[in-house]
């Protein structure tokens, strides 16, 4: 019986050592996962900050371009207004029609203006036919 108890104690010590080794491996893996998670969170934050900075730069550039376009349009209107004073009102209105500031594709009014222009063109023929019907 002493031999069997001794054998079981040896087996228990081996199993405890094996268990302790497994626990240390799990703790090490857990620490590595936490470190990797922290590294990835920092990397993500750097990318988020970079994206926000690029967005701000793009917005500033777009605003600057729109202001330049507005300035150019105003200058063109001023220079044309002197020229227009000598022309008739009918030719004046047609040249004023060409002096429309262009919008960038990301400008909020771009899609609205496109849609309203399209709708106005669609309505014009129908309005004219209604007016003709009303006159008859």
pLDDT digits (tens, 9 = 90+) for 55-73: 999 999 989 989 999 999 9
pLDDT at 91 over 60: no
**Cα dihedral 125/127/133/136 (nearest 10):** -100
Q: Please report whether residue 104 resides in a domain.
A: no
DSSP class of residue 98?
Answer: T
Q: What are the pLDDT digits (tens) for 26-58?
A: 999 999 999 999 999 999 999 999 999 999 999
Taking the C-alpha atoms of residue 110 and residue 102, their distance in angstroms, rounded to an integer, is: 9
Q: Please report whether residue 58 resides in a domain.
A: yes
Q: Please report whether residue 9 resides in a domain.
A: no
Query: What pLDDT does residue 2 have?
Result: 85
Q: Count of domains in the chain? A: 1
Q: Please report whether residue 101 resides in a domain.
A: no
Q: Please report whether residue 72 resides in a domain.
A: yes
Domain residues for the domain of 76 are: 43-82
Q: Please report whether residue 73 resides in a domain.
A: yes
Q: What is the DSSP annotation of 2-62?
A: HHHHHHHHHHHHHHHHHHHHHHHHHHHHHHHHHHHHHHHHHHHHHHHHHHHHHHHHHHHHH
Q: Is 66 exposed, middle or buried (0-12, 13-18, 19+ CB in 10 A)?
A: middle
Q: Please report whether residue 32 resides in a domain.
A: no
Q: Please report whether residue 64 resides in a domain.
A: yes
Query: What pLDDT does residue 110 have?
Result: 45
């Amino acid at each position: 019986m002493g031999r069997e108890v001794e054998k079981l104690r040896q087996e228990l010590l081996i199993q405890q050592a094996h268990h302790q080794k497994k626990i240390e491996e799990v703790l090490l893996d857990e620490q590595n996962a936490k470190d990797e998670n922290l590294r990835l969170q920092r990397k993500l934050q750097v990318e988020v900050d970079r994206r926000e900075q690029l967005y701000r730069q793009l917005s500033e550039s777009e605003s600057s371009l729109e202001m330049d376009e507005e300035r150019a349009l105003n200058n063109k209107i001023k220079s044309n207004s002197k020229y227009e004073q000598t022309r008739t009102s009918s030719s004046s209105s047609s040249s004023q029609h060409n002096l429309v500031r262009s919008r960038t594709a990301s400008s909020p009014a771009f899609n609205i203006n496109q849609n309203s222009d399209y709708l106005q063109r669609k309505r014009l023929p129908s309005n004219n036919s209604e007016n003709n019907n009303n006159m008859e």
